[in-house]
Structure 1
Amino acid sequence: MLPRPKLLEIENRGHKRHSCHWPAVLFTDNFNRSCVIEDISNGGCRLLVNTGKLTSGSTVKIQVPARKLSFTGKIVWLHCEEAGIKFTSKPARL
């Protein structure tokens, strides 16, 4: 029997991600809901959010009241209770 090959995980990312746990609000054209930003980079973020009624490709706005941040982006992936957002506007600071 051949040995099981080791898996090599490669991330093809243009920006370094930073772990965080920031309460935020996700706004769409039709509704808004609470979420948590789990990690963030200059290019996007990963949200912990109820993904019901969210669709990939939709434009969203995210506000982080405690940090006085606001930015817009597009949903690029949805999986279970997580969403990947690609920023279309950058926050003034992270």
Structure 2
Amino acid sequence: MERYGITIHHAAAMTIARRAIGFKERITKELKQKIQAIKEKSNQKVDTLPGEGKGMTRKVKRLFKRLDEKVSVHNGLDRYKQESFYSAWHDLKRLALSSR
């Protein structure tokens, strides 16, 4: 979306069209940088209220661990492996939802 300067709905339509044509979905360096930024932000400890802002939860730590393993090899995988349920995209989606 940010890369092409289009709305989120147009970006989704473009992704669907690219998959239908047969293009592979690549994890770009911009996305890798965003993952790293989220990871660094989650590592910071914020002193707000007791029990809040104590860093990453176990769930998020587990997601980062799985992503570290998958992101480095994702671009070299076959298309059906990239689109499978256990692909990096599934973990990225869960990470985005948990870091809201």
Flag the structure with higher helix content: 2
TM-score class, shorter: under 0.3
TM (normalized to structure 2)?
Answer: 0.23
Flag the structure with higher strand content: 1
